Amino acid sequence: MVLAGCGGNVPSSSSSLSVSSSESTPAYDIKWVSPVGAPALAFYDLGNNTNWVSSSTPATDVVPSFKTATYDAIVFDGVKGLNITKANSLDWKLAGWLTGGNMHLVSTKHQKDELPTKDSKFYSFNSGDLPDLVFKKLASSSWKWGFDFTEAGNITYADGVSAVATMLSGNNQAYDYFLIAEPALTSAKAALKKNAETASVVVNEIFDLRAEWKTYSGQEGIPQAGLFVRGATYSAHKEEFNSWLDNIGTNLTKATAGSEEAVAALNAYSTDALEQQKRFGFNSTLVNALQKDGKNAFGLLPFEDVQDPKAFVNSFYEKINGGTTSFDSSFFLDKNA
C-alpha cells in the first residue's frame, strides 16, 4: 500500500533485461511501473532493469498510467486499479496479488487497551484507498469504538505512507494514532531510535490490520497490491509475459519463506543502502529484519496462496460493502485464453 511505498525519492532505473521468445523473434521488453515499498520486493532481482520505474509518488507516477500507453504492466492498489479499469473500460487484466496486508495502527501516546474517543486524531494516507476502507470497516464493525469516522477533522490524510513515516519518526504529538504500513513502520522506529531526543519513544502497536481482518472476515489476507498487465500486449507476447510472471511468482515465494536471496540480490544491485532505498523503498537490512525465517512482515502474498484472484477480491467486497461491487472474469488474466 499501499499501497503506497516506503521511503525513496524519485523514479529510478538501471540497466535493461530483455526476454526473447525465440532466436528468430526480437526480444520484447516489458515495461512496468510500481510504487516503492512492499510490492517492490517482488522485483528484488530486477533492480538493474531500466524497463522498471519505481516511484515514491504513485498518485502522480502510477495512477495516470492506467489511461496511457506508457507501460505494459502496472503495480497498484489492486482494488482501486480494478475500479479504474471498470469505470473507464480499460484493457487491463489483474494477473495476481503481490501483497496481502502489511498495515498497522500505532501510537506513541496510547496503549492498546485505551479506546480511542471521538476527539482522537488520526494521521493516515490515501483517503478512500484500500487501507482506509479496511481501517474504517474494522473500526465500525469489529472494534466498535462507538463514534463516526466520517466526522470532519477526525482523520488527516497524507499522499502516501512515506509521509506518515516522516510524521511518526519526527515524534509529532498532534496526532494520537498513525495508520502506517511496513516497511515504513520499521524505518520510522529506527529513525526515532537514532535521534537522542526521541530514543526513548515507544511506538505501541494497537492493531495489525491483516490479523484483525482475518478475525473479522475469515480471509487469510487483504487484496492489497495488484499486478496488472495490458490485455492486448499480453496476447501479442505471451511467452515473454509468462516468463516474466513466473519469475515474479518465484520471487514472491522465496521472499515470503526467507530473506537470504532477496538480501543478496539487493546487495548485488548496490552496496549503498541509500541507493537501495531510492530504488526499492527499503534496503537489504530491512528485508532481513522483516522477512527472515518466514516472518513476512512485508505482507507478501505468493501467487500459489490465491488460486482464484477473482474470488479473493469479490469475497473482500462481500465483507467490506455487502457485495455491492464485484468483478467478472474479464478483469483477470487467463493464461489459457
For the stretch 197-238, pLDDT in tens is 999 999 999 999 999 999 999 998 999 999 999 999 999 999
- Asked if residue 18 has pLDDT above 60, the reply is no
Nearest to 41 by CA among 82, 94, 3, 70: 3
* Model pTM score: 0.86
| CA–CA separation, 82 and 90 (whole Å) | 10
* Residues carrying CATH 3.40.190.10, the chain: 32-101+224-331, 103-217
Nearest to 115, CA basis, from 124, 105, 125: 105
CA-derived radius of gyration, the chain: 19
CA angle 174, 177, 178 (to 5 degrees): 100
CA neighbor of 230 nearest in space, from 219, 220, 241: 241
* CATH code reported for the domain at 32-101+224-331: 3.40.190.10
What is the predicted pLDDT for the residue at 25?
Answer: 58
d(CA 296, CA 258) in angstroms, rounded, equals 8
- Which of the 8 DSSP states describes residue 140? I
Q: How far apart are CA 197 and CA 173, in angstroms?
A: 14
pLDDT tens-digit map of 118-145: 899 999 998 888 899 999 999 989 998 8
Task: Pick the closest to residue 80 from 70, 90, 69 (CA basis).
Answer: 90
Q: Specify whether the CB–CB gap between 78 and 226 falls below 8 A.
A: yes
Is 103-217 CATH 3.40.190.10? yes
Tally Cβ neighbours within 10 Å of residue 321. 11
pLDDT at 150 over 80: no
